[in-house]
């Protein structure tokens, strides 16, 4: 188990002190540059493909579907045509389709006896299987990977006590505002990087998404209906990464800010013209998010304890 070095009841000032140290380190990172950010988990092929046939899409179809996967936050690259869904009684109610173009060759016999071939393109709606009920992404690809992470019980208990719903699926980590749920890749896909262990990579990612979760309108209301462009998105990414670093250091997940954290923030700072004032603003929001999560976790733990006592006495 990863070593826990934090005090049991950290003061509110401790979070601010941690954040100040992080900001100082990040300002240097933005000014001097960092190594290229290294993804802490292995990405299996995200190439869009037909789920029924296994064939990959090509050309503009592949490009458009890949873009849709990124923009809409799908955790899988598998798609199914609407016609296939109808034929196999797969419900796509509430799902939003993307359009692919399929060539159709029409042959006809001309008056002089020669064949005339013409190619037309037919538009076909396809659905990502993440939106289809009763269709699951095959997990066989993941079975070959070995789980290199170690359990960090205190963080697991902390996340559970907040009440956040965390699903394990696909190859992307994200918080969905639509479903109010967090999705994490399987632990088996996480690996060590130059500056982080697989355990640090997994839990840093989980805490990053938990900070996003804290920003929902019914919680901190940090970004409800406000993320309208790359700059807004970049600011929220800074909050999430700094918040994850604050929580991680507070839990003792790492002894100091890791190069992976620095590189990630530096990448997003570029979208904000490397203006370090945005980092300072994000740090304030990150501390607020960390405090909110600690309050929520304490309340959740107390409720669970009361419920357990009541059940034991029944």
Is 80 exceeded by the pLDDT of residue 272? Answer: no
The 10s digit of each residue's pLDDT in 144-158 is 567 889 999 999 999
- Beta-strand ranges (E) seen in the chain are 49-50, 78-81, 98-109, 115-128, 166-168, 174-176, 181-184
Longest dimension (CA), the chain: 94
24-28, 46-50, 164-168, 226-230: segment of lowest average pLDDT: 226-230
Average pLDDT, the chain: 79
Sheet of 174-176, strand order = 166-168, 181-184, 174-176
CB atoms within 10 A of CB 199: 21
Burial of 11 (0-12, 13-18, 19+ CB in 10 A): exposed
The 10s digit of each residue's pLDDT in 247-258 is 998 899 887 777
Answer whether 0.75 is exceeded by the pTM. Answer: no
Structure tokens at 103: 């060539």
The 10s digit of each residue's pLDDT in 66-89 is 878 767 777 678 899 999 999 999
Sign, Cα dihedral of 193, 196, 200, 203: negative
- β-strand partners of 6: none
- β-strand partners of 108: 116
Query: What does the pLDDT average to over 162-179?
Result: 87
Q: In 3-state terms, what secondary structure has residue 44? A: coil
Looking at the chain, the whole-number percentage of residues with pLDDT higher than 70 is: 76
pLDDT at 162: 96
Residues 294, 25: Cα–Cα separation, whole Å:
24
Residues shown for the chain:
314
Query: What does the pLDDT average to over 169-185?
Result: 85
Q: How confident is the model at residue 208 (pLDDT cuts 50, 70, 90)?
A: very high
pLDDT at 38: 55
Q: Are 33 and 301 within 8 A, CB to CB?
A: no
Is 70 exceeded by the pLDDT of residue 212? Answer: yes
pLDDT at 314: 52
∠ at Cα 140 (139, 142), nearest 5°?
A: 75
Q: In 3-state terms, what secondary structure has residue 20? A: helix
Q: Which residues contact 239 (CB under 8 A, 6 or more apart)?
A: 211, 215, 222, 282, 285, 286, 289
The residue that leads in pLDDT, 248 or 267, is 248
The 10s digit of each residue's pLDDT in 99-126 is 999 888 888 877 777 888 888 899 999 9
């Amino acid at each position: 188990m990863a070593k826990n070095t934090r005090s049991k009841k950290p003061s509110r000032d401790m979070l601010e002190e941690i954040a100040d140290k992080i900001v100082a380190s990040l300002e240097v990172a933005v000014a001097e540059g960092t190594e290229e950010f290294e993804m802490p988990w292995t990405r299996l092929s995200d190439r869009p493909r037909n789920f029924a046939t296994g064939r990959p899409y090509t050309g503009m179809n592949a490009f458009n579907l890949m873009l849709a996967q990124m923009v809409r936050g799908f955790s899988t690259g598998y798609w199914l045509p609407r016609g296939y869904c109808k034929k196999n009684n797969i419900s796509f109610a509430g799902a939003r389709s993307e359009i692919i173009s399929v060539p159709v060759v029409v042959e006809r016999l001309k008056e002089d006896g020669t064949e005339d071939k013409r190619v037309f393109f037919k538009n076909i709606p396809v659905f990502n299987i993440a939106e289809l009920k009763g269709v699951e992404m095959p997990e066989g690809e993941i079975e070959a990977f070995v789980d290199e992470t170690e359990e960090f019980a205190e963080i697991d208990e902390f996340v559970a006590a907040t009440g956040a719903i965390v699903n394990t699926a696909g190859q992307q980590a994200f918080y969905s505002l639509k479903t109010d749920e967090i999705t994490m890749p399987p632990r088996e896909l996480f690996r060590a990087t130059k500056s982080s262990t697989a355990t640090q990579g997994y839990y840093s990612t989980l805490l990053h998404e938990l900070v996003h979760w804290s920003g929902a309108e019914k919680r901190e209301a940090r970004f409800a209906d406000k993320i309208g462009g790359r700059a807004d998105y970049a600011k929220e990414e800074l909050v999430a990464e700094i918040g994850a670093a604050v929580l991680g250091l507070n839990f003792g997940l790492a002894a100091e800010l890791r190069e992976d954290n620095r590189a990630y923030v530096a990448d997003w700072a570029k979208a904000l013209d490397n203006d370090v004032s945005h980092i300072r603003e994000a740090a304030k929001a990150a501390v607020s998010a960390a405090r909110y999560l600690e309050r929520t976790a304490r309340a959740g733990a107390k409720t669970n304890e009361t419920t357990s006592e009541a059940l034991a006495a029944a």
